[in-house]
Chain A
Amino acid sequence: GAGVSQTPSNKVTEKGKYVELRCDPISGHTALYWYRQSLGQGPEFLIYFQGTGAADDSGLPNDRFFAVRPEGSVSTLKIQRTERGDSAVYLCASSLTGGFNEQFFGPGTRLTVL
């Protein structure tokens, strides 16, 4: 079956610009997670959705980062006024109900801020 998909696979932008990264979770999965991975590091948690609501956004680094999941399926991570330090791979994962269920990860979006 279809896994988690993320678009675009690569995004190059200039410092100060606004970007949106999209995640399509596995159909029927109520839990959705965003992580960020810098080179040579493990993924770092950003935000967790249960349905339409953000159950835990404690990992968002600052108020330039925002994520939505308006219908409880597709999610968009939005970054305003991008900085060079935002360059990383942004990973999305979904799981059936959260909790003990394994998380299925997408291939990620590689964001490069010039």
Chain B
Amino acid sequence: DAKTTQPPSMDCAEGRAANLPCNHSTISGNEYVYWYRQIHSQGPQYIIHGLKNNETNEMASLIITEDRKSSTLILPHATLRDTAVYYCIVWNSGTYKYIFGTGTRLKVLA
């Protein structure tokens, strides 16, 4: 499984865009990038996933570089409730399981 690298922590001002980077330089052509977040004392929550095209949903946008070796999760207008640990996961259909790293602890500041 491809390894992902994320910064351990980031701060973001409330109302501003939060841009969370992830490196996955060993990703294979059939592997997807998934993002989950975990708010304190809760289970992880799905945010978004993509293969090679940029994706957007009601929660966030996912920008994947053309070579697919890195991606960025964008929370367009961060709120205090977005304070959480964000996990970038590379997934392939052969394994079904997620391999989590240690994630990025995002703190949204008032």
A residues near B (Cβ < 8 Å) are 4, 31, 33, 35, 40-45, 48, 55-56, 59, 91, 93, 98-100, 102-108
Contact = CB atoms under 8 A, between A and B. Distances in A.
B3 to A, nearest CB: 12
Nearest to B89: A42
A30 to B, nearest CB: 12
B43 A108 contact: yes
Contacts of B49: 100, 102
Contact of A55 (B87, B96, B98): B96
B102 A105 contact: no
Interface residues of B, number: 21
B96 A99 contact: yes
A102 B46 contact: yes
Given A105-B42, A105-B45, 15 more contacts: A4-B43, A31-B96, A40-B102, A42-B100, A43-B100, A56-B97, A59-B97, A91-B43, A99-B93, A102-B46, A103-B44, A103-B98, A104-B46, A107-B41, A107-B43
A99 to B, nearest CB: 6
6 contacts: A31-B96, A35-B100, A40-B102, A59-B97, A91-B43, A91-B44
A105 B96 contact: no
Contacts of A105: 42-45
A108 B41 CA distance: 8
A107 B42 contact: yes
A3 to B, nearest CB: 9
Interface in B35-59: 41-46, 49
B44 A43 contact: yes
Contacts of B45: 105
Contacts of B34: 102
A71 to B, nearest CB: 21
Nearest to B1: A45
Contacts of B95: 56
